Structure 1
């Protein structure tokens, strides 16, 4: 799902609303009678939403909530918001404010709520915030919902006052772990990172550092953790990077954690590199033959300095059964990367060691890639 949600367009829907005689019933009344309160025919045979006076809207106000949950009714109400008359906005607002939670998680109502957040005044927005933060974890549950997450993201984008931010942060903080690991909820955390200040996101950075292993080894969490590193600064970033690096050996071997370790390596922060490589030293052969950690070893070879590259390559060459690395489905790629980055005498040594195993390895489906490598002939 995309990180943001856009409002339903009016398009041909309004025309269809006035001409289609389906059997939709709202509160016991045929929808065609309700449509007449909003839709008027044009001379060209088309239809348009008629808001020439507030009386049309006032007469139909008891149907507004039901319309908000209907595909076509929702489009009409959005059109009312687009026209921007504060009096019209207030009429709609008054009819839905008592049930905004229900609308936020509704397939159609969520679009109306997004549009409302764009046009409402600060007093109205505070009423919405109070409604969705009154019950503990209510905002978290909305954020976990497929439709609700879009509204919460829009809400975060439109926060303007300290009081508003404090309400949202206080409501989200208890559900941080559930949100960051959820398909829908993780986008709410990412929107906080994008829209709020470092200080307001303090709860994210601190929790991310505290639970970094749990988050990094999760399908969605590993992606958000990288965004946390990217958006954090100062002491928050230092602590987060430090905790991830401290657990580097565990994370490097994980299906998702390896991506976080690679991201840290790319940043080339000296203290982080030192922590990671001190854990990897003596384990490069073991890491090279594993599916996930082999990518980390390749990353080390590709982005770190010559001394560390030399350490890695010498460790690989010294393996008891080096030919097994050549024939391994994962380690063969590490050896290929080593060939590309090795220089001078070390490159010659690596080539000689590889060539010495040519007789027993050249026909292996994995090692044949190495023996066909042009760097062996340089």
Structure 2
């Protein structure tokens, strides 16, 4: 208690200690040993003013994660609310995107719903971001109907564009891998209908999306995809990226 009083006495001092390479370990150990309501309140009062600095810091983000692991849902309310409020800023940060996923994992009820809703609402933007795409993929894996509906509504009509981008191509692959047959069918039909399909199979990113589509499609839709690929064989087979598709055993299924 005496240690807590000293390190929370000055505004933001607790934050500065948490950002320090050695200090962060002390603060994490301190959080693990909290026993009383007063101790928990002192820690929260020390962390809250510097939440964004902490969650985006190499050392500080571990302090937030330790709170998620050791404190109750109600005590972590300030983390869940801030995570929802600054969702896009956090999701597009190298360390923040990882902690945001932990927030979803540890939160329940309205707190979880709010974070998931904010990510879903900004899905098309986050899908194209180097770090934000991981948050979107995480939401897709959870298969929450309302979130999936929000995301796929934004993606519909944009799958070809998303497939040709480095980060969002992983999101399209995730959609194909984990979502239901109707959505899968929508994606594959958009790919097949692309004005320049040959560019997709020659693209460094979209060729992986087409390979995933080959793996997950069945019946007439799979046959349609194979036919479109075969129709572009003569102009695409020597491309370093489309070679992977033309050597695919699924083309011979």
Q: Same fold (TM over 0.5)?
A: yes
Structure 2 Cα separation of the partners of residues 344 and 171 of structure 1 = 59
How far 1:216 moved relative to its partner? 0.3
Q: Kindly tell me the number of residue pairs found equivalent between the two proteins.
A: 253
Name the structure where helix makes up a greater proportion of residues.
2
How far 1:337 moved relative to its partner? 0.1
Give the secondary structure class of the aligned counterpart of 1:279.
helix
Structure 2 Cα separation of the partners of residues 128 and 374 of structure 1 = 64
How far 1:324 moved relative to its partner? 0.1
Structure 2 Cα separation of the partners of residues 197 and 190 of structure 1 = 13
How far 1:293 moved relative to its partner? 0.3
**Alignment deviations for residues 279-302 of structure 1 (CA, whole Å, 9 cap, x no partner):** 000000000000000000000000
**Alignment deviations for residues 190-248 of structure 1 (CA, whole Å, 9 cap, x no partner):** 00000000000000000000101000000000000000000000000001100110000
How far 1:133 moved relative to its partner? 0.5
Structure 2 Cα separation of the partners of residues 197 and 277 of structure 1 = 34
**Alignment deviations for residues 290-329 of structure 1 (CA, whole Å, 9 cap, x no partner):** 0000000000000000000000000000000000000000
Q: Which has the higher contact order (CA 8 A, sep 6+)?
A: 2
- Does residue 1:168 correspond to 2:43, yes or no? yes
Structure 2 Cα separation of the partners of residues 318 and 169 of structure 1 = 54
Structure of greater Rg: 1
- Does residue 1:216 correspond to 2:91, yes or no? yes
Give the secondary structure class of the aligned counterpart of 2:148.
helix
Tell me the C-alpha RMSD between the 2 structures. 0.3
Alignment partner of 1:350 out of 222, 225, 241: 225
How far 1:141 moved relative to its partner? 0.3
How far 1:144 moved relative to its partner? 0.2
In structure 1, the partner of 2:133 is: 258
TM-score normalised per structure 2: 1.00
Alignment partner of 2:2 out of 91, 105, 127: 127
How far 1:134 moved relative to its partner? 0.4
TM-score normalised per structure 1: 0.67
How far 1:250 moved relative to its partner? 0.3
Give the secondary structure class of the aligned counterpart of 1:245.
helix
Q: Which runs of 5+ in 1 are unaligned?
A: 1-125
How far 1:136 moved relative to its partner? 0.3
Structure 2 Cα separation of the partners of residues 134 and 170 of structure 1 = 10
How far 1:155 moved relative to its partner? 0.3
Structure 2 Cα separation of the partners of residues 344 and 174 of structure 1 = 56
1:80-99 aligned within 5 A = none
- Does residue 1:183 correspond to 2:58, yes or no? yes
How far 1:167 moved relative to its partner? 0.5
How far 1:261 moved relative to its partner? 0.4
**Alignment deviations for residues 5-54 of structure 1 (CA, whole Å, 9 cap, x no partner):** xxxxxxxxxxxxxxxxxxxxxxxxxxxxxxxxxxxxxxxxxxxxxxxxxx
Structure 1 Cα separation of the partners of residues 243 and 2 of structure 2 = 68
Structure 1 Cα separation of the partners of residues 240 and 56 of structure 2 = 39
Q: 4+ residue runs of structure 1 moved beyond 4 angstroms?
A: none
Structure 2 Cα separation of the partners of residues 295 and 346 of structure 1 = 22
Structure 1 Cα separation of the partners of residues 123 and 30 of structure 2 = 36
Q: Which runs of 5+ in 2 are unaligned?
A: none
Structure 2 Cα separation of the partners of residues 151 and 128 of structure 1 = 11
